Chains A and B, each alone.
Chain A
Amino acid sequence: MNPVFARRSFILGSGMVLSGLGLASRGEAAAPPDTLVVGIAADPTGFDPEAVLNNTSGFVMATVFDGLMKYKPGTTDPEPGLAQSYEVSPDGLTYTFRLRPNVSFHDGTPLNAKTYLAGIDRLLNKANPNYIYNTGPVEGYIDFTYGSLASYTAKDDMTVVFVLKAPSAPFLTSLAMVWNGVASPTAAAKYGKSFRQHPVGTGPFIFREWRPRDAILLDANPGYWNGRPKVGKLVFKEYPDPSAGLLALKNGDMHIWADTNTELLPAIRADRDLTILTQPGLAVSGVGMPCDTPPFTDVRVRQAFNYAVDKNAMDKALYQGLAAPMTSPLPASEWSFDPSLKGYPYDPAKAKSLLAAAGVAPGFAVELLAYNSGRGYNPVGPDLAVAVQGYLEKVGVKVTVRKIEFGAYLTTIRSSKYKGMFLVGWTGDNGDPDNFLNALFGGSNIPVTDTVRYRNPVLDALFVKGLKSNSHAERVKIYQRAQRIILDAAPWIFINSVLQVRAVSNRVKGYQLNPTQMFFDMEKVSLT
């Protein structure tokens, strides 16, 4: 049995059955009253924030660790976290952080300049006996965050100073990412290679046990600096099958479904004891066109493809209305998003005339490569490719959809040799526009993240300027100009930006989604 097929049939089948039966009764006794249970779909790979990189690990780590900065609840705007306050020098090169007093790691190690910098040294100093790269594979954001760092020093017991080699406007936001959670240097030294299985931070919950492919158990941190958590225990419980996850949610075995399956939303909506929370996410999804390969070297062809696709209809039919058409290369949740841009409306006649003008004859054939399963930025996976195929055929383009496994897909589109179109998408890391526009369309990122091989010197110069600027207003202008250039150049068929969707039990109070999808501020969540 093909497991993908089995799983898919299973989800669809169960959705129908669950709605059809109209199950009224509550089942098995629910989780203990003081225990908040978050349902996850996959197994984490470890909990060292700087070493592992996947959402599930991030979900857990957001409750165990704090960053020097944090996101304001529900946003990607940074505010002081373990730092009580900070200052940035006028040249944008020196960052001074005053640490929060009376904070301890879960193992009792006090947070001060010495212990904080010991953690930074573990990441950056090859001579450090606990150097993180000696503990196993490192997938994290060390280069991303600290790549421009010239020095890190203690000004006094509770003050640390970072000096950058070049101004990096996103530095503060990056420090708030879950991947820059501050780990206890004592525990990192004690556990060494297995620290990623024994995380110790300063966060609202204390790690107790990880049962692989089953559950992660955490206890409330009664001395948490931002207030004692309102539940006694937190459990991340794995439900690899979405239908079983839904039953657990309905039964009261699960309270927040981190990986809510959107195909089951009708059944969730039908249950009055459940609520669906949504929020504009940090995701964009589309179809990439190889900008160095004819006929896609001609901007008219790329624009034609954008006009050929009815994004509104697709959002309704495929995404159950849980996505917004892209009118800009940035998602609407981004602070520099330009609301005056209107994107490409559905206009097949215009698409045909643009194709004719570019000399693309009807019957032009092209392959469209798709990953074979849903992604965070595109929950319907390859179905998007099939929908685009249908629209392009209406304007005389013959599209062959080829579905392959995600690893193979990534290797192919990053080979620089692939000549077809492909599904493409991105989820922002820190909430900064550079992390979208430069990553996806900056010439220096060809072919790894700029997979469409789009290069524009004017745009690249804007990105350099945007990184250097210390002024928020100036950065907004820079990135709005960049959005316009990219939108006109149309290296992608800009499809949509999916909403973050999570189903929760009505017993859950005080829970707020964050655009990064991470479980921040969980000390505020209670169960009634």
Chain B
Amino acid sequence: MLDYLAGRFAQLLIVLFGVSVVVFIAMHLLPGDVATLLLGDRATAASLARLRHQLGLDQPVIVQYWRFLSGALSGDFGTSLRDNRPAFGEVLQAFPVTLELTLSALLLAVAIGVPLGVAAALNEGTWIDTAITTPTLFGVSMPVFWLGLMVLLVFSEKLGWLPVGGLMPIGVHMARPTGLSILDAVLSGRSGLVWQALRHLLLPAATLATIPLALITRITRGEMLSSMNLDHVRTARAKGLPESRVIRAHILRNALIPIVTVIGLQLGLLLSGAVLTETIFSLPGLGRLMVDAILARDYPVVQAGAVFVATVFVLVNLGVDLCYAVLDPRIRRQ
């Protein structure tokens, strides 16, 4: 097991090196530089030259990369070219917002999607099946920005039940030691804040959950159906096991490996795909930070963010692989 983990971490280092090179080259291949963007229409030749020098952009690309790499190896990703703050600090500050949003969305998707998929499979061909699978088709193909607007219109504007966006109501002060709104609200010991944090999270999480929810429902249904007629299920029924146990321990468990794979992949996708949701609901997350940084050619922040996201991606995949071992004793023995 330790050898396995060591191997995976070695892979992680290779992935991170690859990501840093690719991102660095891609950012430098983009036309337009950060000094021009920062100074905009007002730049003069002298001010551009001076700002480029201050930002180190007048160095050869290879020197810039070496500076980045040597800094990164010692944990220093440099300072943002845009706002002069530590680049990795910005990533760490934005990440909890995205993490909370993503995990909540995934939790919603799994908590609703798996039971729905099971129910659809158990009632294959009936109206229940149709009632579940038809909306999921819409769910998979629903554009997030449209859905986000619709839920805002209905639940914030028309019904007035939920806030337009942000993490907390304007004027509410709360310390944010972890950056995770709900956890910080719990730590603050003020129950009103927990309620507010949940209210602010509900719409964005529900919006972000639609696609994975639909996907998980459909995968669960499909996997359940293909597991239902396997030999071991027939044997279990023949042994006289109660149907609920047959479903839980013999069909669903068998179906879970592909479901877990999909969940793992979705977690990665959600982490990188939350940008539209963060924009619509005015959330200060990693997606928006990255898009802003790319548009502003803020190399240090893009590099730090890419390395960070790649690390999380690899670790999530590792977690998924470890889940396989828990779910399937055969994998554990290998």
Contacts and interface: CB of A to CB of B under 8 A. Distances in A.
Interface of A: 1, 3, 6-7, 9-10, 13-14, 17-18, 21, 23, 25-29, 31-32, 35, 37, 42-46, 52-54, 133, 135-139, 143, 193-194, 196-197, 211-215, 233, 235, 237-241, 243-244, 247-248, 250-251, 253, 404-412, 414, 425-427, 429, 445, 448-449
B3 interface: no
**A-B pairs with lowest CB-CB distance, top 10:** A407-B32, A213-B284, A408-B31, A27-B160, A136-B84, A32-B171, A408-B32, A214-B284, A45-B83, A31-B170
B13 to A, nearest CB: 30
Interface stretch (B100-108, B222-230, B285-293, B310-318): B285-293
17 contacts: A6-B276, A17-B149, A23-B153, A45-B82, A53-B40, A54-B40, A137-B81, A212-B94, A235-B171, A243-B152, A244-B152, A244-B282, A247-B157, A251-B156, A427-B41, A448-B43, A449-B41
B110 interface: no
B171 A233 contact: yes
Contacts of A244: 152, 164-165, 280-282
Most chain-A CB neighbours within 10 Å: which of B143, B149, B288?
A: B149
Contact of B54 (A136, A213, A233, A414): A136
A17 B153 contact: yes
Given A143-B44, A214-B167, A244-B280, A137 B38 contact: yes
B128 interface: no
Contacts of A404: 31
Interface stretch (B45-53, B61-69, B116-124, B248-256): B45-53
Contact of A138 (B42, B54, B170): B54
Interface in B115-163: 143, 145-146, 149, 152-153, 156-163
Contacts, number: 200
A197 B86 CA distance: 12
Contacts of A213: 94, 284-285, 288-289, 292
Contacts of A137: 38, 51, 54-55, 81, 84
B165 A27 contact: no
A253 B164 contact: yes
B96 interface: no
B275 to A, nearest CB: 7
B169 interface: yes
A214 B163 contact: no
Contacts of A29: 169
A238 B282 contact: yes
A212 B90 contact: yes
B76 interface: no
Given A46-B84, A136-B79, A211-B284, A408 B160 contact: no
B28 interface: no
A218 B45 CA distance: 36
Nearest to A250: B157
Contacts of B159: 25, 27
Contact of A235 (B85, B90, B170, B276): B170
A248 B164 contact: yes
Interface in B217-238: none
Interface string B291-314: 110010100000000000000000
A383 B126 CA distance: 52
Nearest to A9: B145
B321 interface: no
B297 A196 contact: no
B294 to A, nearest CB: 10
B285 to A, nearest CB: 8
A28 B156 contact: yes
B326 interface: no
Nearest to A195: B84
